[in-house]
Amino acid sequence: PKEPSGSLSTDSIKIKKEVANAFVKRKKRSSPYEWYFEYYKSPMEQMHERCENYPPCDYLSDQVGFAVAYNRFFG
């Protein structure tokens, strides 16, 4: 069913939970280590995110590499 504005109504977009579960499967974690690493990031990953969130560092890391860029701004 279309609304007067020409867009679809929200009722036509919704699907039942059972239908959605047929093609969207949740990834199961097999070990406690996977749970741990999902919630706690390594120090190197934290450093990468810190550099990515600071545009000058992110730009410089594309030019000369992550280690040099990180040390330039945060080292």
Question: With the CA atoms of 13, 14, 18 and 22 taken in that order, what torsion angle do they form, in degrees rounded to the nearest 10?
Answer: 30
pLDDT in tens, 3-44: 555 566 666 677 777 777 676 666 666 777 777 777 788 899
Quote the pLDDT of residue 71. Answer: 96
d(CA 4, CA 59): 47
Query: Which residues lie below 8 Å from residue 50, measured CB to CB, with a gap of 6+?
Result: 57, 70, 74
Q: 71, 63 in Cβ contact below 8 A?
A: no
pLDDT in tens, 33-63: 777 777 788 899 999 999 999 999 999 999 9
Average pLDDT, the chain: 80
pTM of the model: 0.51
Neighbours of 69 (CB within 10 A): 21
